[in-house]
Amino acid sequence: MFELNRGLAGHVRDANADGVFPVVLAGDCNSCLGTVAGCGARDLGVVWFDAHADFDTPEDSRSGSLDGMGLAMLTGRGWDALRETIPGLAPIPESHVVLVSARDLEQTQRDRLQRSRIRCLEGNTFSDTDLRVALDELRERVRRVYLHIDLDALDPGEGTANQYSAPDGLSSARLQSAVARSSTGSTSSQLRSRPTTRCPTPTDGWQIRPPGSLLRSSDTRCRTTAEEQSPGGIAALGCARGDERPRNHL
């Protein structure tokens, strides 16, 4: 995973240097590490859509799942030595993170979140005003936003993104609206990238690319596919194999 993110950081950095908007389609939320490293952590905020907090460290995880540690690592907790091997990666302050739709939380995970400075808008219980206030406060602290979308933020009634989907998530319309709000006022240079996760089905015709691969705006075929299949600008996930569900928590 760390080796993959070292490579991803370089691709994202190159895309930014070329003036290309980076959209990372990944089957693993830990792609956040290489993506943020490639964009640079300075003045960067994070809006993280996910049914889960991904805020465990090896010391406090009960599952041992590395995929449940992405946001913890991004904010500077756990795997210190290996994180340092990702060029350009620096911790994002917790106060620069808005976590949206997390609800599949053990009590210890909930307690850790509450002790942190991460702003959490839980499940589908928050109002549009709650979201607007959280985003306004974030914009006062940062100049750019890294938008991370794990599609298990969606309610299972809308679609099942992975085997860890949980009830009481967002409707598709609400997710798209929230993503749009998160992007409002951002230029392509301010909204640095949009990693997304989604498990494609064999029949839906999405372009599949290896985990961590990068779509560049010059790649007309893939860009068009993502836009066509994802009205509202929510892009797709590339899984390792087209008809295989992710085996790990996203």
Footprint of Mn ion on this chain (CB under 5 A)? 50-52, 150, 152, 250
Shortest Å, Cβ 140 to Mn ion: 28
Between 12 and 166, whose beta carbon lies closer to Mn ion? 166
Please say which residue, 77 or 198, places its beta carbon nearer to Mn ion: 198
The smaller minimum CB distance to Mn ion, of residues 28 and 50, is found at 50
CB of 215 to Mn ion, least distance (A): 21
Which of 15, 24 has the CB closer to Mn ion?
24
Q: How far is the CB of 165 from Mn ion (least distance, A)?
A: 8
146, β-bridge pairs: 46, 193
Residues with Cβ within 8 Å of residue 80, at least 6 apart in sequence: none
Cβ-contact 40, 144 below 8 angstroms: no
Strand pairing class (44-49; 119-121): unpaired
Quick check: 192 and 96 in contact, CB under 8 A?
no
The tokens of 219 are what? 């790649």
List for the chain the helix, strand, coil content (%; round to 5): 35, 15, 50
Q: Which is nearer to Mn ion, 171 or 189 (CB)?
A: 171
Using the structure block, give the residue that is written with the tokens 């009830």: 167
H or E element at residue 99: strand 97-100
In angstroms, give the least distance from the CB of 29 to Mn ion: 6
| Element at 129 (helix H, strand E) | helix 128-141
Nearest CB to Mn ion, comparing residues 57 and 217: 57
> Of 52 and 112, which has the nearer Cβ to Mn ion?
52
Could you tell me the smallest distance in angstroms from the CB atom of residue 184 to Mn ion? Answer: 24
**DSSP reduced 3-state for 61:** coil
- Shortest distance in whole angstroms from residue 149 CB to Mn ion: 10
Contact between 67 and 162 under an 8 Å Cβ cutoff? The reply is no
User: Six-digit token pair at 164?
Assistant: 């860890």
* Amino acid, res. 37: A
CB 52 to Mn ion: min, Å: 4
